[in-house]
Structure formats: C-alpha cells, structure tokens
Structure 1
Amino acid sequence: MAEASVSRTYGNWRKPVTAGLGRLGTIGTGAVLVLGIVAILAWTAAGVGAGLVVVVIGAVIVLGLVLRDRHELTAAQRLGERVGYQRATAANSRLYRSGPLGKAGWGTYQLPGLLASTRLIEGKDSWDRPFAVVAWPSLGHYAVVISCEPDGAGQVDQEQIDNWVGGWGQWLRNLGHEDGVIGAAVTVETAPDTGYRLGAEVRHNLSADAPDVARQMLAEVIDSYPQGAAQVKAWITITFSSQVRTGSRASEEDMVLELSTRLPTLTSGLASTGAGHARPATAQEVCETVRIAYDPASAFVIDEARAMGQRAKLRWSDIGPASHEAFWDKYRHDGAWSVTWAMTVAPRGEVYENVLQPLLAPHRAIVRKRVTILYKVMDPGIAARIVESDRRNSDFRLNSSKVPAARLEAERSITEKTAREEARGAGLVDFAMLVTATVTDKDRFPEAVAVVERLGSQARMQLRPQFGSQDSAFTVALPLGIVPEQHLVVPSSIRGAL
C-alpha cells in the first residue's frame, strides 16, 4: 500500500531582537539605566523636585520605546514618521516637476527621489546576451535585473512544487557565497492585458487562404480576450557592491565585466526554482517597466508599438514622471494614484507554499499590482554569529523574567531550532515585503485599498501603509535593486537596538 504524502509547511521566521529589559533593546535599556543614574544625582544635588522631573522625562521616553501597536511599531517610531512628513511638507519636497517646465536638468524627465542619481548601463554577458545594470555611483551599488516567466503551480505535482521551493532556498543560500552581493528582490506584477500582443500574433500566423468564418471568429477573440485577461510579469534583481576587499571601489567598467561573467551562472541556477525561462533584462525593457509604473497609460502605446514590429526607444533620463505629489497615505504620479504597504508581521505559524497566492493573483479592482519581496542574504560566517547572538539574547530575556511568558518560551524554541539548522548548513536571510496598488481612477482608490488589505489578511500577514514615505516606498518596490537600509538616516542596527 502506497504511503500517503505529507504536505510540507513553512515558517520559523522571527524578528531578531537584542538583549534588554522587557521589550526594550540594548540602547533602550542603556538609556533607562542612564536616566536612573541622572535622576539619583539630580535628587541628591537639587532636591526632590529635580529628581521627579528627570523621572517623568525618563518615563515618557520609556513609554515611547515600549508601547507598541499591532504592527509592532513604537510610539517613537510613529512620531518620527509624522515629524519627517511635516519636514518634507515644510521643505516642499513632496512635490516634483520635471520636463521643459520642471527643475530637472536640460528639461528632461529625470527620475525622482532615490533614483535621481542613478545611471543605466548595458553590457553583454558571457553568453552574448545584453543585460542592464542600474548603478548608484555615490554608493557603489550595481543591480542586475533578471526577467522570468514562472511556470505556475497549475496542474503540477506536489512533489515538483516541493522541489521548486527547495531549489529556491538553495539559490538564495548560494547568493550568500557570492562575493559582493548585498541584496536581492523578487517582484511580481499583475496588470490587464492590452491585447496588442495577441492581435499581432494572430495576424502574423493567419493564413492568406483562411475562410471568412475563421477570420471573423479570430477577430472576435482579439476584441473580447483583453476584457478578462491579465498580464503577469516577474523579475529577480540582485544588487552588488563595488567595495572590494582592499577597501577601495572597483571601477564601473570592471563591475560590468565582472557581472557579465557571473550572470550565466545566476540565471542557470534559477532553472530548478520554477522561475521558468530566466534571462537578463535589457536596458530598453527596464526603461519600459519603470515608465509604465509611473504612467500606466503608456503601456498601451508601448504594446501597440511592439505589436507593429517597432520599439518605443526610451532613455533613462526621460522615463520619470512629469509630476508627482506624495501624500501622507497615497502617492499621485502622472494621472495615476498608488499606495504602498509594508509587511509588518509575517504569516503567523506554519503555512503552505501557496500562502501568497491570493495576494499575487490579478484583481479587477486594481489596474496594476506589484508585490516585491526584499532579501538580505547573509554571509555564512556572519549568519553563524547572528543566530548565536539571537539565541543568547533570547536566553537573556527568558531568564530575566520571573514568570516567563509563553511568547518568550516560543522565541527560545525558535532560536534554538534556527541555530541547529544553520549549523547543518542552512542559509540565513532577512526578508521584507512591499505591496503597491495603482489605479487610474481616483474614485476607485478606496476599493483598491480595501482589496489589498483583505488579501493581506487572507495571506495571514499584517500590512501597513508606508505613512509619510509613499514616494520612496513606491520606488523601492520597483524591480531596480534598491537596498532600503543603505538609504536610511538612522541605521537599521540602531533601530533594532532601541
């Protein structure tokens, strides 16, 4: 008798924490101790009143670091969002105008924000395939974009799906051994099909001797198919740092040459992950992707030109929005409205491999939906130190509590399991998720917001709009290889220790 197959589940992810008292991190705990000493000194030197003032100030600071909402954000973090937004409003930096009447150089449609200083380079890899490189000269970052055609899980055996998941984990693990890799991302975008590609394919293959009935039937298919069809595109971006071991940066030419030798291995390794045909995206394709993201209406023009055998020749300096305005909870750009959410709590407990399927699927209420998962791949040596530090911090929190909470005991169990898996050779990655929904009709904006939040709940995760930074979040969600922590005013290491 054949054994019944057991469905695999996934989980065991958690936010790393630093050692501290209660819900405070290392820096927060140190601040409390310093305030306690200052309060005692003030009490001794200036009397009870001065001591009480210091205690009250310290209590306010501690409450700002301890009180958290359902998204695990402290009151201090939420206050920082509001202050940053008010400063941007006062500096008038929420508004952007480009083109002949704008302030961009030479009257161009320059990309705004985090992409303002970028350059687009095109080279050829060892297999003579053209590939695009998005470069940040000031940071020494170079990102390559890989275009994928996922096979999909329909009519696929569960064993094959499990192999794909395992292959993806192995591919991410191997990135940790790639010298210079500082980040990776997967972007899946869904949008209505314009229908031009189908029409061009039918006209190209239509026989000159086809009967009139067949011609009429195909014409009806071309007219009706786009009404319910959707496009699904996927990209994988890998970001490299030009900082070499000697401490100096490699030149732009050297980086393009090095990436040209690495791309064949990176793309061929995706064959076992279910990514389908993976190839480097060309500079023209990257320009089209960014232009359509800022101006969804341009997708019809670009697809129509492609269907006629032409290409809309775009330049990196002319694909930005003519105007944009970043609001507290939404982003307006070239006649479209977008909102971007960040995942604040990953799917709880154990989940199956299709947990994100509702979120990734097309939806009629959203013109364009983009889901981006950001990965920070750890070097094996660094990963070992991180899991051991996380285990010690979990032990400290558990042992420092007289009556340990069930949450602390669960964290201890997870950290122990993670340490054992890493010791057996498993990789370690930090990950985050951004979801962007775009509509062209402002009246449909509330419906799109409600749909995404409902889909997030179905995926057993918590999503929170990126309040006060919608323009930056929109940019990070594009398949361009932006590493967010490299652009933060307050480093992520300090944020995590508060």
Structure 2
Amino acid sequence: MRKAGRGPVVAASSSEPQGPRTYGNWRKPSTAGLMGLGTLGTALLLGGLIFVVFMVMAAGMLAGMVGGAIVGMMLLAVLVKDKHDRNLLSRMTVRIAWWNTRSSKAHLYRSGPLGRTPWGTFQLPGLAAASRLSEHTDSYGRPFALLYVPATGHYTVVIGTEPDGAALVDPEQIDVWVAGWGHWLANLGDEPGIEAASVTVETAPDTGTRLRREVISSIDPEAPEFARAVLEEAVDNYPMGSSIVKAYVAVTFSATSRTGGKRRKPDEMGTELAARIPNLTQQLSATGAGAAHPLTAQELCETIRIAYDPASAVLIDEAHAAGETPELTWPDVGPTAHQTMWDCYIHDGALSMTWSMTSAPRGNVQANILSRLLAPHADIARKRVTLLYRPLDAARAASIVEADLRAAEFRQTSSHKPTARDVMATRAARATAAEEASGAGLVNFGLVVTATVTDPELKAEARAAIDNLSATARLRLRLVHGSQDSAFAGALPLGLVLPKHLKIPAELKEQL
C-alpha cells in the first residue's frame, strides 16, 4: 500500500466544535491495463491475440482454436482472483514452491552441537541466517547494535521506545503525535541511504520478576507483619493475567552510498551512523514514542532469543533480577529446532502463526483504529504487530504518483460505464498527486501480525482472535501459506526488507 502525507495540519482555533480527525487516502500500487489486467497482463493479452491470428493463418482454424484455448487459460490464471486479490497463477506458484520445500526437507531445521549445522551453534534460520551483529557507540556515548545482512547489503539499527499510550490524553495531543509521526516518516525519504523502517509492537505476559525485585528491595525490615504479607500476596498474584508492551523501531540503511558503489564495512557504517542516530531518536520523542534509545547488542540478542524461545523470558528476567547478564551472542539466539508447516510455524516448544495485510481500511479512519489489535489478548501468549515502511525519495515519488494517476484515469475512461471504485480510485490518485506536489512524502507500507501460543491446542483460539481483531481494525489479513518461517522473521525487529528476498520482484507482480 502507498500513502502520501506529512501528518495532519492543526487548524486555527475556532468557536465551533470540531469532530474527531480522520485519516485515509492510501492506495494499492497498480498499472494501466485492460479488463482488470496490469501493463504486463495487457501485453500478454495482445501478444496472445496476435499469436492466435498467426496460428489461424499458418495452420488453419483448428490450430487457432487450440492456441486460443491455451491463451485463454493463461489469461484466466491471471484474471481469476480471490478476496485477497491473489490470482490463480500466484496461488499455484506458492503451492509448487511449498512442494519443492517439503521435498528437499528445507522446512526442517536443527541447530546446536547435535544439529545439522557443521559449526554447532544456534544460528538463526532462513532469511537471517547469514546476518552479522556488531556494536558501536554513537555521538552521545550510547552503545548501539548494528545488524548486517549480506544477501541484500543492508545495515539495521534497532531503537527501543517506551510509548506513552493514549489513556487520559487529550485528542489534540494525539493529533500532534500523529502529525509528528507523519513528519518522521516523510523525513526518512530525505535521509541518505535509507532503505526501510519498521515498527514492532509486542505484547507478552509479565513474568513478575521485575515487580518482585522492586517490591522486595523497597520493603522496610521493621514494617508490620500484616503490611509485609499484603505486599507479598500482591507480588504473587499480580503477574497473573498482566502483560507487558514493548515497542521497537528498526531503521534499515543501504551498505552502498550510491548505485553501483562499493559496500561499506561495519566499522565504516558504524562511524557514519554514530552521528545520525541521536537525531533519529530525538525526532521519535515528538511522535508519542516516549524515551527512545538504540538497543545494545545484548538487548537485541535477548529480544530475538525470547521471540524464538518464549520460555527463556523467565530465565532472562531472573538473571537480570539477580544482577547478572546472560551471556548471549548472535550465533546463539536462534531456535534449537523448528518445523515450518503450511499454515503455522513450530519453534522451541511454541507455535506461531503469521498474517500479512492484503488491504488497508477503506475510507477514513480515526487515530485509534489499531488500538484493539495492538492490545494484549487473553488467548494469545505473545502477539507481535509490525508495520513495514519503505520511504521513497522525492524524485521517485513524483514519477510514481503521476504514473498512478495516469493508470487510474485510464481505467476510468476505458469503460463507458466506469465502476464506483474506479471513480473513487481516480479521486484518491488526484489527491495523492496534489499532496505530493505540495511537499508531502510518499511511503509504501504493509503490516504483519504474529500470534504465538505455548500450547498447540490453542491454535484455533488464537486464529479466531486475530480474525476478530483484524475486523475491528478494518484490515484484511491473510494467513501466510508455505513461508511461515520467513514471515515470522519479517515480523521481528531485524529490519529485513522482505521484497528484496523475493525470487520474483514485487514490481513484476504489480504489472500483472
């Protein structure tokens, strides 16, 4: 999906009461074409018709009919789509890829000294297998982790935040935060070397270790026995049903300073980002993200380890409560074993399911549209909602919005009776072009949701919970099939740019 905007502009005060502010005007990328096809699909249609004509001229009517049937089947495979706008050809490709994965046993993973990896470590699987982690210091003297993915040539910095939340906050303040977030995203397009950004909001059950440590350290030895008993009972019972919410912002940079340039090494990239990270964290404070700080290598290792092995969260919290730091290195944060299924992902005693967004909310929405989706849920042990952003620079944004406008106008004028959707799409494309011309930034965005349960028997409940939560957010989510392990990694705060890992470029799919 694409969105242009700089955040809402706060109007001058007026004596008339104003309604709640709404947001919208996001568009799905598309190209001009006939019969609902894109540019490439239309080219295949015209090429197929020319092929049929030559077949009739060269081999007769019967051969032309056979050629026409073949071309018609190919076009049907592209035209027949489901509710998630996926055509038959795409679904067939996924099925074939999944069959190939199972045949080669690539859906199974075993690590550690007794695993299949010859080096005997608990290396991350899949897309993050070749990633490397280093630690540097920014200009404020804060250590920060720098993750390098050689396959795509990307460096990622993960920023930990403490969101203030919207409870007991005036609507005007929320509008200011949303405007600040819009400005932050728009400014990413002007940052040199920016490839992508992601926001991960994770909810998990509270182990109670931090509460116990805080209470025990504050108890007065001479306090009455009754008061001590009340505090101890509160410490024992409070963690039951309580949850913690964590938020991370991952910013991904390109290893090359220009197209065709030489890839920079981690030391060179760390020196450059050391002066840029303080500005990124300061700007986040104006978006309601609270105190923002870059994660250290130890903090990032703990975050990823807990994601793959939820049971380790208790051990890590207990170690911190005892004043100890768990010795974790990047080659040791992966799962001991995993098995990728068609519709789920089994890893280290837990089962996860990941959904991807196929359609943004139609019409306008308010700022709290995702509040229920982000909130903890009783049927889900750990829930991770990740918003994926790919900012576009000003030069590309201008050409893209103009191409979208021409495509929308072509679809509307290609029919004597255009549909209401075509008319609304043209209006939205014109509004986007006008916003971009006035200085707004253009951002491609998506959303991934991961639900993790520790009991496989709760799989159906977790799936039903996500279906209900997506309806409240007016999102259309599709359960990822055949690549649950990759989708799980994409939802982690690793800064993985998923379109860069596709064998078939996403731009080519849009052309169909």
TM-score range, shorter chain: over 0.9
Partner of 1:41: 54
Output aligned runs, 1:411-426, within 5 Å: 411-426=425-440
Output aligned runs, 1:139-150, within 5 Å: 139-150=152-163
Tell me whether 1:464 sits opposite 2:478 in the alignment: yes
Output aligned runs, 1:239-250, within 5 Å: 239-245=252-258, 247-250=261-264
Report the Cα offset of residue 3 of structure 1.
2.7
Partner of 1:397: 411
Partner of 1:221: 234
Report the Cα offset of residue 143 of structure 1.
0.3
Partner of 1:59: 72
Output aligned runs, 1:63-462, within 5 Å: 63-245=76-258, 247-462=261-476
Amino acid at match of 1:7: P
How far does the alpha carbon of each residue in 1:445-494 deviate from its partner, in whole angstroms, 9 at most, with x for none?
A: 11011001111011111111001110100000001100001100001110
Which residue of the other structure, out of 11, 28, 31, is the alignment partner of 1:18?
31
TM-score, normalization by structure 2: 0.96
SS in 1 for 2:276: helix
Report the Cα offset of residue 346 of structure 1.
0.7
Report the Cα offset of residue 439 of structure 1.
0.4
SS in 2 for 1:61: helix
Amino acid at match of 1:181: I
SS in 2 for 1:354: coil
Query: In structure 1, what is the Cα distance between the partners aligned to 2:87 and 2:308?
Result: 32
Q: Which moved more, 1:181-190 or 1:50-59?
A: 50-59
Report the Cα offset of residue 259 of structure 1.
1.0
Report the Cα offset of residue 313 of structure 1.
1.4
Amino acid at match of 1:17: S
SS in 2 for 1:227: coil
Query: In structure 2, what is the Cα distance between the partners aligned to 1:55 and 1:335?
Result: 53
Report the Cα offset of residue 136 of structure 1.
1.0
Report the Cα offset of residue 282 of structure 1.
0.8
Tell me whether 1:497 sits opposite 2:502 in the alignment: no
Report the Cα offset of residue 99 of structure 1.
0.7
Amino acid at match of 1:78: R
Report the Cα offset of residue 167 of structure 1.
0.1
- Give structure 1 stretches of 5+ with no counterpart: none
Report the Cα offset of residue 249 of structure 1.
1.8
- Among all aligned residue pairs of Structure 1 and Structure 2, give the percentage whose two residues are the same amino acid: 51
Query: In structure 2, what is the Cα distance between the partners aligned to 1:151 and 1:5?
Result: 25
SS in 1 for 2:493: coil
Report the Cα offset of residue 138 of structure 1.
3.5
Query: In structure 2, what is the Cα distance between the partners aligned to 1:95 and 1:351?
Result: 42
Report the Cα offset of residue 405 of structure 1.
1.0
Report the Cα offset of residue 247 of structure 1.
2.1
TM-score, normalization by structure 1: 0.99
How far does the alpha carbon of each residue in 1:2-21 deviate from its partner, in whole angstroms, 9 at most, with x for none?
A: 43132100111110211111
Query: In structure 2, what is the Cα distance between the partners aligned to 1:444 and 1:250?
Result: 46
Amino acid at match of 2:170: D
Query: In structure 1, what is the Cα distance between the partners aligned to 2:223 and 2:277?
Result: 45
SS in 1 for 2:342: coil
Query: In structure 2, what is the Cα distance between the partners aligned to 1:99 and 1:280?
Result: 30
Query: In structure 1, what is the Cα distance between the partners aligned to 2:23 and 2:494?
Result: 28
Amino acid at match of 1:18: T
Q: Which moved more, 1:81-90 or 1:96-105?
A: 96-105
SS in 2 for 1:70: coil
Report the Cα offset of residue 66 of structure 1.
1.0
Contact 2:162/2:291 (8 A) holds in 1: yes
How far does the alpha carbon of each residue in 1:84-110 deviate from its partner, in whole angstroms, 9 at most, with x for none?
A: 101101111000000111122421111
How far does the alpha carbon of each residue in 1:303-343 deviate from its partner, in whole angstroms, 9 at most, with x for none?
A: 11111111111111011111101010011001100000001
Amino acid at match of 1:416: R
Q: Which moved more, 1:230-239 or 1:245-254?
A: 245-254
Query: In structure 2, what is the Cα distance between the partners aligned to 1:60 and 1:455?
Result: 38
Contact 2:134/2:266 (8 A) holds in 1: no
Report the Cα offset of residue 140 of structure 1.
1.6
Q: Which moved more, 1:70-79 or 1:412-421?
A: 70-79
Query: In structure 2, what is the Cα distance between the partners aligned to 1:40 and 1:188?
Result: 56
Matched residues, number: 498
SS in 1 for 2:211: helix
Amino acid at match of 1:188: V
Q: Which moved more, 1:330-339 or 1:390-399?
A: 390-399
Report the Cα offset of residue 208 of structure 1.
2.5
SS in 2 for 1:172: helix
SS in 2 for 1:101: coil
Q: Which moved more, 1:97-106 or 1:322-331?
A: 97-106
Query: In structure 1, what is the Cα distance between the partners aligned to 2:319 and 2:265?
Result: 37
Report the Cα offset of residue 224 of structure 1.
0.6
SS in 2 for 1:93: coil
Report the Cα offset of residue 28 of structure 1.
0.6
How far does the alpha carbon of each residue in 1:157-184 deviate from its partner, in whole angstroms, 9 at most, with x for none?
A: 0000000000000000000000000100
